[in-house]
Structure 1
Amino acid sequence: MRRTRAAAAGAVTVSLLTAVTACGGGSATGGGSNDSPKTLTYWASNQGASIEVDKKVLQPELDKFEKQTGIKVKLEVIPWSDLLNRILTATTSGQGPDVLNIGNTWSASLQATGALLPWDAKNFDAIGGKDRFVDSALGSTGAQGEDPAAVPLYSMSYALYYNKKMFADAGITEPPATWDELIADGKKLTKGGKWGIGIEGANPSENVHHAFVFAKQHGADFFTADGKPDFTNDGAVAGVKQYVDLMAKDKIAAPGNAEYAQNQSVSDFAKRKTAMLLWQSASANLKSQGMNEDEYGVAPVPVQSGTPGTGKQVNSMVAGINLAVFKNSDNLDGAKKFVKFMTSDEEQKVLNTAYSSIPPVKAAQEDASFNAGANTVLKDTLATSAAAMPQVADESQFETAVGTAVKELLADAAAGRPVTTASVKAALEKAQQQMPAK
């Protein structure tokens, strides 16, 4: 279902809230900018190694905006475990921020609530025009045929990060390009208390991203062409099993990773406990944890054939963060000024450099600093071998349901319980049953 009428928005929001797993938080703090048109409230997602890192990155930029416009921005950085619940609660209560970050994959779901400001031609003109943004980023801003529900802020893609010394010590001369090579290398690297690869089994968002990409590599998707859930097709089952088998069958991921939440796999990689990591734009995160760039290499995520490209050789989802505005904000003019500031060419360079992400703004992306090192791999992936997550109204329920199913399968693997094609299919069938009825 690609379009939900305003009359159904309340029902959609209730179903979204029902689908989201309980994860703390869950209540909006503060309304719009009732105290002054010179104040905005901004909910930022946790992009750095910690919330404190994000505050250090963002506060100087917010101060810069205040100096330019006289508008003070009240910042709250929200961890991913709480973010969707907080946003959904705000959509139903009307008590939320003026401006907020949303995972770009949630755009269509949150658009369906009717709570976000549509970015029509007039609103885009107010921030410099829609044509300033790259097409791949605009493709994850809402349902097809609708005005976007948000504006791209950071673009990211997954890559394979590998420890050069651990590879050399194991006699491995180049990063794996195929999944067979990754498993073979992982087995060589799993020794002496070290593990071949790190994953985050208790992080449903990470789980569903990998499930989506691996299914794509098996020629499948989790939704039919008309937007109906199809979680138990052979390719989807094979993709999920391939991911869970990193722990269950291949045994190159530590059983303890089944309990890992956000950033724990990155921390293990930075501490040289694991030799490989599949992550979105990790360089800044690794640097903040004391790992030098010359210690690791960056390569495309392996695919079946070894050659990333379109079709079955997809090796990332189109990852990123969008900037949205609650349309009931008391300071819509100020909110749009803030969006214009955050997506300005200069600010895009500052922010995306800080987070080792790629600017979705064309002019900023052309800067030399985004065309070297790890950024070369990330940009090429986004341009040639990344696929957008399903832009359907039920996307956030899909993420929660399938991400949690994978979490439970990894818990089985950690406990030594068998993970079979049948058990994976059963878990995905259970997830599909949690989706709203059509």
Structure 2
Amino acid sequence: MRRNKAASVGALVLSLALTSAACGGGTSGGSNEQPKTLTYWASNQGASIEVDKKVLQPELDKFEKETGIKVKLEVVPWSDLLNRIMTASTTGRGPDVLNIGNTWSASLQAGGALMPWDDAAFQKIGGKDKFVESALGSTGAEGKPPAAVPLYSMAYALYYNKKLFKEAGISKPPATWDELVSTGKKLTKDGKAGLGVEGSNLSNNIHQVFVLGKQHGVDFFTPDGKADFTSDGAVAAVKQYVDLMATHKIVPRGNAEYEQNQSLSDFATDKTAMVLWQTAAATFAAKGMSEDEWGVAPAPVQSGAPGQGKGTNSMVAGINLAVFKNTKNSEGAMKFVEFMSSDGEQKILNKAYGSIPPVKTAQQDPAFNGPGIATLRETLTTSAAALPQVPEESQFETVVGTAVKELFAEAAAGRPVTDQLVRAKLDKAQQQMPKK
């Protein structure tokens, strides 16, 4: 999932718990008849909002032709989406169906504003078994009915610019972090950068430091769900990530301000040689970069090969589709979710976005077996881990993501990023979490 946010989800959970029963939700209509319209908030998946509209509108027109239900589409930028959801949840004025980042599932679930997907609900869309297990693992807290269903599955990988690698005499992509730093230094020259990051993108910051945390043996939460941001492993993970700019200088200082795909634009225009990103092929194509100009490899590990535990090299990324609990068009909403999660639509949409279908049968399409996508599928299957499915997860993304953003700002200003400074920023973040 790509987005950032500035709101406290601790307040969200409380406000949703107090207001969800009064939430009107969705489109209006008479009490005895389901309305013939749906409002759908889609997340910005493509290179731009206009690209998303071109991808989605033909499919929504197809749905209307099949069911007679018109879908009113709004594509919402990631920087706005969670705040929009919070407002809709507390006022009752919002969509019927919406996309959510899969890491938000447990937080939004705790508020009670989203329809729970029990066995009966899943049966209406073809059954829970049609989805792959890794995607279902990021739909809500364990032991509770999911808050949403998987729509697009993604994983992080290392993308590298073949032209810049060839010019630098580098024959293969790095497999470990030490190799990435060494390779990055060879590529950082003549105004070009070894690696691009999105230093102001709170979610991307979290995704990277969560993975590094797993590689250092920590999860940022204790087994009973308490925030644990200041352990030695957490400090090491955050410092290792920021040091790519602060110490190794393979990331340009200007990247500290990047938050909305700027690093991908730099990559596509030969300004940056490598990026760590989730399912980036469609974005590169939209920016005019052909498939033969870039390569993809598993994201780095500390040593050895990717796998579970300390070999984790990606979070389980993806987008889920949710229904507001008190929508006045529940039948239409269910039909829409069934349509969007159908085999045919899964193939069309995931091909368009370069993502992986979370529906098992759709994954069998040859389009999802090419070299680039195969690397992502292998990562999801063997070496990806879901972010903590706890109610405070979204607040964790905000406060720790902000801490990392502030540390990148320190590095961009040329100030040293020490262990003490990292621990102080993480301690400040932990103090903003709800007390248990």
The bucket for the TM-score relative to the shorter chain is over 0.9
Question: Is it true that 1:81 corresponds to 2:93 in the alignment?
Answer: no
State the Cα distance separating 1:101 from its structure 2 match.
Answer: 0.3
SS in 2 for 1:360: coil
Cα deviation digits, residues 138-182 of structure 1 (max 9, x gap): 000000000000000000000000011111111111000010100
Residue in structure 2 matched with residue 122 of structure 1 by the alignment: 120
> Could you tell me how far apart the structure 2 residues matched to 1:195 and 1:11 are?
40
Pairwise mapping of residues 181-330 of structure 1 onto structure 2 (< 5 A)?
Answer: 181-330=179-328
Read off the aligned partner of 1:101 and give its amino acid letter: N
Residue in structure 1 matched with residue 153 of structure 2 by the alignment: 155
| Change in CA separation of 1:49 and 1:282 when aligned onto 2, cut-off 3 Å | same
Residue in structure 2 matched with residue 34 of structure 1 by the alignment: 28
* Kept after mapping to 1: 8 A contact 2:245/2:253: yes
Which of residues 105, 108, 114 in structure 2 aligns to 1:107?
105
State the Cα distance separating 1:356 from its structure 2 match.
Answer: 0.4
| Change in CA separation of 1:10 and 1:206 when aligned onto 2, cut-off 3 Å | closer
State the Cα distance separating 1:306 from its structure 2 match.
Answer: 3.8
* Kept after mapping to 2: 8 A contact 1:117/1:324: yes
> Could you tell me how far apart the structure 2 residues matched to 1:32 and 1:147 are?
22
Read off the aligned partner of 2:97 and give its amino acid letter: V
Which of residues 66, 69, 74 in structure 1 aligns to 2:67?
69
> Could you tell me how far apart the structure 2 residues matched to 1:137 and 1:346 are?
18
> Could you tell me how far apart the structure 1 residues matched to 2:101 and 2:15 are?
19
SS in 1 for 2:320: strand
Read off the aligned partner of 1:247 and give its amino acid letter: M
How many equivalent pairs are there? 418
Structure 2: gaps of 5 or more residues? 1-8, 18-23
SS in 1 for 2:145: coil
State the Cα distance separating 1:13 from its structure 2 match.
Answer: 2.6
Cα deviation digits, residues 309-358 of structure 1 (max 9, x gap): 11101000000000000011000000000000000000000000000000
SS in 2 for 1:196: strand
Question: Is it true that 1:97 corresponds to 2:95 in the alignment?
Answer: yes
Cα deviation digits, residues 64-93 of structure 1 (max 9, x gap): 000000000000001111011111111111
Structure 1: gaps of 5 or more residues? 1-8, 18-29
The two structures have a TM-score, normalised by structure 2, of 0.94
Pairwise mapping of residues 305-384 of structure 1 onto structure 2 (< 5 A)?
Answer: 305-384=303-382
> Could you tell me how far apart the structure 1 residues matched to 2:15 and 2:97 are?
24
SS in 1 for 2:99: strand
Residue in structure 2 matched with residue 24 of structure 1 by the alignment: none
Read off the aligned partner of 1:81 and give its amino acid letter: S
The two structures have a TM-score, normalised by structure 1, of 0.94
> Could you tell me how far apart the structure 1 residues matched to 2:152 and 2:295 are?
22
> Could you tell me how far apart the structure 2 residues matched to 1:10 and 1:312 are?
30
SS in 2 for 1:417: coil
State the Cα distance separating 1:14 from its structure 2 match.
Answer: 4.5
* Kept after mapping to 2: 8 A contact 1:13/1:92: no
